[in-house]
Amino acid sequence: MKIFEEIESEVQSYARSFPRVFNKAQGEYLYDTEGNQYLDFLAGAGTLNYGHNNPIFKKELLKYIESDGITHGLDLHTNAKGNFLNTFNDKILKPRNMDYMVQFTGPTGANAVETAMKLARKIKQRETIISFTNGYHGVTLGALASTGNQHHRGGAGMLLTGVDTLPYDGYMGDDIDTTAYLDKVLTDSSSGVDHPAAIIVETVQGEGGITAASFSWLQNIEKICKKHDILLIVDDIQAGCGRTGTFFSFDEVGIQPDIITMSKSLSGYGLPFAIVLFKPEHDIWKPGEHNGTFRGNNLAFVTAEAAINHYWSDDLFSKEVKRKGKYMYDRINKIIDQYGEGNFSSRGRGMFQGINCVSGELASKITKLAFKNGLMIETSGADDHVIKFLCPLTISDQNLKRGIDILEDAIETVCAKVKNFDEEVDYFDENYEVEEE
């Protein structure tokens, strides 16, 4: 369709990787206007953990719309919001002994992160936040200051301030404990690192390349926060809502963050929705101090409640995610052993898995060929060198296998071509080709 070239901004990104016009989706399937079917291993960049148009949520949503339920409600008290809060409290917070307040922010992940950072600064009356190498927390200015990627940072056009970036787990190699370095710079009054209000961390870095921090590293981060009177913010926007096998990605880590950000799959249906959770003693906001027109996406409250009721009332779903995650891990490692030539490696936790192909060019060739063969899968990491598996958690065993089979075939083909020093292969017919900048 020409209109996209004519008037849609150059800022598009996913549309360049998957240059098709899509018109239908169900579960783990996406369809384009030519009737081609794709297995969706991107799933709205982690927003569709329960699949496209999940029929359970759709039924609730249609019933709600049909009854003229409130759609937009600012921060007004509504039935839909009350029901979500009750369900979230009863099924998520209370069983985990989590005593947290819920703040409804603007509906993007970035706005939840802005909120968390503002609140931490306000509580501690300190300016600096510590974030980590390869961290990704969004692209509005405050959140962007805590995002590592230079391509995104460069878009700011101004100094990004108020954040110091320190090495994430494994950044200096497997043998170096970067929490020891963190503790050292916070202890040394001449380190040049100011006493921060908070540390913001992803338990598994999504955009940064599916790097999972070890539980002991995360526990050390919490200890360091306590030791130095610093708040711990866990950004669970991508790793949360079951992706790693538990509702919160830190459920089994044994830490209690002071502040938690959530978005992406929280609504379950792909509807925009974000929240920030914090301990009651930290609820020092003045009314309206952080506001936003779209804090009351009541349609999202309806589907989020349905998602929690259906998938998180017991531990069956969590067990399923762990089982499928183990299958993915085993398959991925077999693929790496077979084709990786000792260069590829696997990373991640639960159904948040990745293959580090070392080269972004190679990873891109593999994902392009996979797309041609009906699998939609993206890359992440500093050089887009990590193939990132984000399929819906609800995917059938058969389709999970089929998706990985398609990827394996693509890896086999691309690696064989690279090995044989074949000429640059153009995997797409003309219609597919998107001009590189």
| Closest residue to ligand PMP, based on beta-carbon distance | 109
CB of 68 to ligand PMP, least distance (A): 29
Query: 138 or 348, CB closer to ligand PMP?
Result: 138
Question: Least distance to ligand PMP from the beta carbon of 211, Å?
Answer: 12
Helices (H) and strands (E) in the chain, counts: 14, 17
Residue 205 or 346: the one with the smaller Cβ distance to ligand PMP is 205
**CB of residue 106 to ligand PMP, shortest distance in Å:** 9
Q: At what angle do helices 79-87 and 298-311 cross, to 10 degrees?
A: 30
For 298-348, the three-class secondary structure string (H helix, E strand, C coil) is HHHHHHHHHHHHHHCCCCHHHHHHHHHHHHHHHHHHHHHHHHCCCCCEEEE
Determine whether 140 is exposed, middle or buried from the number of CB atoms within 10 Å of its CB (0-12, 13-18, 19+): middle
Integer Cα distance of 258 and 245 in angstroms = 22
8 Å CB contact between 42 and 49 = no
Residues that bind ligand PMP (CB under 6 A): 45, 108-110, 113, 136-138, 202, 206-207, 235, 237-238, 263
CB 206 within 8 A of CB 240: no
Closer residue to ligand PMP, CB minimum distance, 107 or 340: 107
Which is nearer to ligand PMP, 267 or 298 (by Cβ)? 267
Q: How far is CA 369 from CA 348, 384, 436, in A?
A: 23, 16, 17
Least distance (Å) between residue 260 CB and ligand PMP: 12
Residue among 70 and 102 whose Cβ is closer to ligand PMP: 102
Q: Which residue has the tokens 């460069």?
A: 154
Name the residue nearer to ligand PMP (CB basis): 38 or 136.
136
Minimum gap (Å) between residue 156 Cβ and ligand PMP: 15
Minimum distance of ligand PMP from residue 47's CB (angstroms): 8
For residues 206, 166, 110, 145, the Cα torsion angle rounded to the nearest 10 degrees is -130
